[in-house]
Structure 1
């Protein structure tokens, strides 16, 4: 399955354009480059261009290549003139083609995370066979409020994990969906004030999948779901169910700048982390389809301007500079990384950090990728 997805991912359609004349080289470079195993199109372009996210424009400007969507280890890329037609010498075609980003690193997030406006109406797990406290592959979970279910139907078991809101109201959730007591929201206080003050949605994490093996009948009020995913997490009482989507995400990505960029787009969270992440980490952004974001949108991420206490002329304080709100010395904004959106919802998007010079933190702002 993963091999098939990788191949499909690499076959990324590119629109016909004549952008190559505007591409800037990153400085001196060899006349040719042989594609190596482990390279990605983003990485290769990053070595020779100032804007690595423009790699599609270089490959698409090559009319000599019968299929410019597939680049293989062993291909020889002509780099003599980055502002002219690029010639490619085919390699041996003995290995899988190379895509823009390593699919294996984002596939779990493509499948396992989604954002919804509400989850309380979803059917939920109430118990497990033999009075177990948790459920795993091969075991039965009993589900309440699964009206109209039929034997053989497959469902994904999901868990509400985060309530996203701007600017300071993001909360960690228990499996029941209630806020985690005493979570403190310490790292979320790092998000600076913003004009976009609203609820953005609930994150649901897929923990397992299962098949309905028995439906409610007589005095029995629950449906029986046999869990299947041996690589999934243990299922808990309170976890919710949604129908399995046959293809929940795109297999093709077209790196491009945002069609429009609303103000105050922030990093809401870093997947599987508390406050910061680096290349190949997945982040949540506070903009989605309604804001013009779609799969392939590339942004640059910046640490916003903050104030620090002047310890020479200012007052004495023990407050951390990052949360210093009094009169102080304003610092410049700092570039951190580029990120590419790979899954979009109405108000929230997930993006993969592609490259950077420093860690990306919760609260950093998203800018046009050309911002310097």
Structure 2
């Protein structure tokens, strides 16, 4: 007989000084909500608050709740406002899988298989030079020969291949190709960044090379080249593929949505996935800021689309294009993005909500 363990929170009353939070309660919010399988913390908080990223503040302000992620399907959440306080009371729960902040199962590739590194680090990494019996490709169970590797026998290594060159967004009319000094063709990456704005391509200075883990290998014998055994692979190994240390813990599964304290001027969306010219809710985007800019997981940004520069037909009526007075329209809010993985100069973010599609070149701002 399957026994379900119920945890009863008798007398647990989570009370928070409301400060400005009372004004952030969503009109018509439910007083009670039963947590369901498939919910995320963001989804739940959006039912109660106009600013979902304030949800952790409600929990973290209370010593009774040690981890804001530990709410489970079956929990009953009561939310009320008495004019001074917001009160959140979990009644009881079944022990099981806690509700995540974001849908991690949909982001596995970006969490586990991708890394963004300086191009010099990728170019200088040990590389595959050949295969056993002079085969043209390598697969699981075969030997590969690697140059430039300093390793002990038995050590595991990740085999990686470049997928994409990230660049800052700018308005240069010169289209800069994705180039890497390697004899390996880039695998098909998930990114799109070729959308045009005002006839210009958004290709600026390089900020990092993304590599994708395509397999792992174990060191057998040292030397130049060294001999390794391919222990697993999801693609055929090619000459020129790079080797890097295995990252056994590539990401932190817990995320606390929060507003950043500051924001660099160059913070923009530089690439997106899945569609040809825009991204929507629950789609991944690449941002032009990273850990070197103080970015960390959970930071939430407002995304604004830059206003177009148009001719003022009233102030300067003219039939000649480009002649007369011009005006730049205000930037328009398009949605929110939450960072879920950071590198030195690039971050991966998930579009959490929006009123219109997100495009490359869109500007990041502090959320209200």
Give the TM-score taking structure 2 as reference length: 0.79
Rounded to whole Å, the distance in 2 between the matches of 1:67 and 1:199 is 39
After superposition, the C-alpha distances for 1:90-123 in whole angstroms (9 at most, x for unaligned) are 1233x31112112212232122222222221111
- Unaligned runs of at least 5 residues, structure 2: 1-13, 187-191
- Unaligned runs of at least 5 residues, structure 1: 1-15, 318-323
* 2:338 matched residue in structure 1: 340
TM superposition shift of 1:47 = 1.7
Is 1:176 the counterpart of 2:182 in the alignment? yes
* 2:8 matched residue in structure 1: none
**CA pair 335-139 structure 1, distance change in 2 beyond 3 A:** farther
* 1:205 matched residue in structure 2: 212
Aligned ranges 1:30-45 → 2 under 5 Å: 30-45=30-45
What SS does the corresponding residue of 2:86 show, helix, strand or coil?
Answer: coil
**CA pair 250-175 structure 1, distance change in 2 beyond 3 A:** farther
Is 1:145 the counterpart of 2:148 in the alignment? yes
TM superposition shift of 1:191 = 9.4
Rounded to whole Å, the distance in 1 between the matches of 2:276 and 2:235 is 20
Rounded to whole Å, the distance in 2 between the matches of 1:365 and 1:310 is 24
Compute the RMSD of aligned alpha carbons. Answer: 3.5
* 1:71 matched residue in structure 2: 71
Rounded to whole Å, the distance in 2 between the matches of 1:25 and 1:287 is 31
1:295 touches 1:341 (CA, 8 Å); kept in 2? yes
What SS does the corresponding residue of 2:106 show, helix, strand or coil?
Answer: helix
Q: Judging by fraction of residues, say which structure has more strand.
A: 2
* 1:110 matched residue in structure 2: 111
**CA pair 266-69 structure 1, distance change in 2 beyond 3 A:** closer
2:169 touches 2:204 (CA, 8 Å); kept in 1? yes
TM superposition shift of 1:198 = 4.2
For the pair shown, the structure with the greater C-alpha radius of gyration is 2
Q: What is the aligned residue count?
A: 337
**CA pair 271-129 structure 1, distance change in 2 beyond 3 A:** farther
2:16 touches 2:86 (CA, 8 Å); kept in 1? no
After superposition, the C-alpha distances for 1:44-66 in whole angstroms (9 at most, x for unaligned) are 11122110111112333456657
After superposition, the C-alpha distances for 1:13-45 in whole angstroms (9 at most, x for unaligned) are xxx995643221110122211111111110011
Aligned ranges 1:1-372 → 2 under 5 Å: 20-23=18-21, 24-61=24-61, 68-81=68-81, 83-93=85-95, 95-117=96-118, 118=120, 119-146=122-149, 148-168=150-170, 171-173=177-179, 176=182, 187=194, 189-190=196-197, 198-216=205-223, 221-230=224-233, 232-271=234-273, 275-308=277-310, 330-370=328-368
